[in-house]
A and B are shown apart, each in its own frame.
Chain A
Amino acid sequence: MKDNTVILSGRGVTKVFGFGANKTVAVDHVDFTFRKGEIISIVGESGSGKTTLAKMLLGLVSPTEGEIYFDGELRDIRTHKKKREYWKNIQAIFQDPFSSYNIFRKVDAVLLDCIRMRGGGNLPYDEKLEMMKRACSFVNLKFEELTNKYPFELSGGQQQRLMIARIFLLSPKILLADEPTSMIDACSRATILDMLMGLRNDIGMTPIFITHDIGLAYYVSDTVYIMEHGRFVESGTADQVILNPKEAYTRRLLSDVPKLHEEWDLSTV
């Protein structure tokens, strides 16, 4: 799966909100190199800037400073057309499935958007239907039960699975999963992660997990970036970072993970 081609990298990527006295540096000169096929986790607390970084990677927020390189070239998303091209390659799963869908559009509309995005807008409806069915069965959803339903009528896990069905149809090169499992229960969480892993193997995409859950990062990823106050304080392979943490911040994050067999030490929180 892994090769050494760099798919996404950044130099000095910075995002500053506001100016003057209200200035907040959300992301502070971060450098990163994401290789194709690698599973990456960016771990940090709330407010550490990881979601802002994810939005910059997605092109939803433009960086104040710094360059982002995609597929070896400087990313150019200045026009809507170029953005559309870029978004064929990079997609996202958001944290809260309940707020991720437009409540006025039905499930089929969401999936048809993806088919259109892949250039299948002019296909006969039967073929589109077949594609939607295939995508739904991939995530263990029954398409027949979903048509004419609104996404908010589904459960949280079903909604997140629908999100994965979207990714299945779009098959992007990079998937940014911003806390994809933090809003759903532990059972669905494993299913979702397994599906994402399966998808990664099927279409050869590079998943980037944005999470505060260092356990999850260890469970899934090859490379882990630890983020604190808008900076990467530590990075390396999952084993390196999590089994031999060098930074105090990483050690604190690790000690905050609740363990079943011992008392949770609240004094460090």
Chain B
Amino acid sequence: MKHLLRQTFRSGKFLVGFVIFMTILLTVLIYPLFVKDPPLGIISRGTFLAPGIYVNVYDSMNSSPRYTLILEGAASRRVAGKLGDDDRQAMQEWLVAKGVPEDSIDIADTAGLIALWESNFDPSLRLPGMTNADRNYYIRLTASLEGLLATEDAVVAAANPETGALEEIGVITQTDYVNVGEVPNSRLFVLGTDNFGRDVLTELVSATGVSLIIGFVAGIVATTIGLILGLVSGYIGGLVDDIIVFITNLFTVIPTFVLLILISFSIGQEQRGAFTIAVVIGVTSWVWTTRAVRAQVVSLRNRDHVNLSKLSGHSVAYILAMDILPYIASYVVMALILQISSAILAEAGLSILGLGPRTTEVPTLGLMMRWGLIYQAHVLNYWWAIFPVILVIALITFSLNLMNTGLDQVFNPALRE
């Protein structure tokens, strides 16, 4: 046993797979100890906030003490941040299309450009070749230009509770800065937020956990069914074998995924919890385990040690458990690993089709991909809402398959390098 463990960890492939898998697993286990937010809690009103540190605007205004810093080039950086080169190009294009002579436009001259823009831009005008999206873009751009070149301070006013009239309560000068650490409400969204304004990282960790559980449950279910049928069919033989092989062949020719879709659909949205989906995946994917286990058992059942066990008066159950199972255990473990990885993929596939677990309780990797797809994260370039999910799925299946081939090398000396 000790020897086998040492052999296992000497296999490079297994080690790499193991490290990746354990990293994912430990993250899933440890992360919730530090971040106690509910994974499906909606944090921001806006959708798809990009990754970064977010500061509550209200609380940052009221932070004290205020510091007066005169940062060099602060104004030009603000202008550059809101009016980039692409925006300037777009403005020039619009103006040229409207009929403004091209040489009168100098896109490097911010003040001149904005003046020209404000005198010419008409949001209701449809220029030839301009799409709706383009028009919305120009409207957004115009709004962001407001107050861009202002040099005066911003006045913060609040309604007087008695009279209802606005009263000045403070002035924010352009040299006011606030330390992010002193703002009581600031948050780091390492992976931004998704379409519902939920923290993608927290959601992703929770989804990975749920998907691993789904994979594990489905893997156990499939392996148990496959193992029992394979053992019985291979060892007992005869009519029982014929019947089981017939059923197995029947299931082999029906595409599993179609079966999975039909079963999921007929269960109905309300009844589909993560656990139900896991069991359904398990129940539809035992076929290959059965075939493989049966083949192994058939080759084992006439071995001398099985005969000796029979002659020692052991029962069929005892022989299956003690004389057959240990000999195929390594194979079964490998089949289990493959079943887990394919169950995680199957869940993702089902969820993308909208036939996965119902959406209100737990996130799964498949559901996160579905949300990302429905809200067009992939089209609109909100990579943080969909790419990390794909990466995690790929890493999980990659690590499991690596461990599988690594184990193959350990158990089958002929494959060792």
Contact = CB atoms under 8 A, between A and B. Distances in A.
Interface in A45-101: 55, 58, 60, 80, 83-84, 87-88, 91-92, 94-96, 99-101
A105 B322 CA distance: 9
Contact of B304 (A83, A100, A113, A117): A100
Interface in B312-335: 312-316, 322-323, 326-327
Chain A binding site: helix, strand, loop or mixed by DSSP? Answer: helix
A92 B314 CA distance: 15
A99 B303 contact: yes
Interface string B292-321: 000000000001110111111111100000
Contact of A80 (B304, B305, B307, B316): B316
Contact of B322 (A60, A91, A104): A104
A94 B312 contact: no
Interface in B182-237: none
A92 B315 CA distance: 18
A101 B311 contact: no
A87 B313 contact: yes
Interface residues of B, number: 17
A117 B313 contact: yes
Contacts of B315: 80
A140 B307 CA distance: 25
Best-buried of B314, B315, B316 by chain A (most CB within 10 Å): B314
Interface residues of A, number: 25
Nearest to A94: B304
Contacts of B313: 84, 87-88, 113, 116-117
Chain B binding site: helix, strand, loop or mixed by DSSP? Answer: helix
Contacts of A101: 305, 308
A80 B315 CA distance: 7
A114 B308 CA distance: 11
B311 A100 contact: no
A58 B315 CA distance: 16
Contacts of A137: none
B311 A96 contact: no
Contacts of A58: 307, 311
A154 to B, nearest CB: 14
A183 B190 CA distance: 68
A103 B309 CA distance: 12
A155 interface: no
B323 A92 contact: no
25 contacts: A55-B307, A58-B307, A60-B307, A80-B315, A80-B316, A87-B310, A87-B311, A88-B313, A91-B311, A92-B307, A94-B304, A96-B304, A99-B305, A100-B308, A101-B305, A101-B308, A102-B308, A102-B309, A102-B323, A102-B326, A103-B305, A105-B322, A110-B312, A117-B312, A117-B313
Interface of B: 303-305, 307-316, 322-323, 326-327
Given A80-B315, A84-B313, A102-B308, 4 more contacts: A100-B304, A100-B308, A116-B313, A117-B313
Sorted from nearest, which 8 A-B pairs have the closest CB atoms? Answer: A113-B312, A94-B304, A100-B304, A104-B326, A84-B313, A102-B305, A117-B313, A99-B304
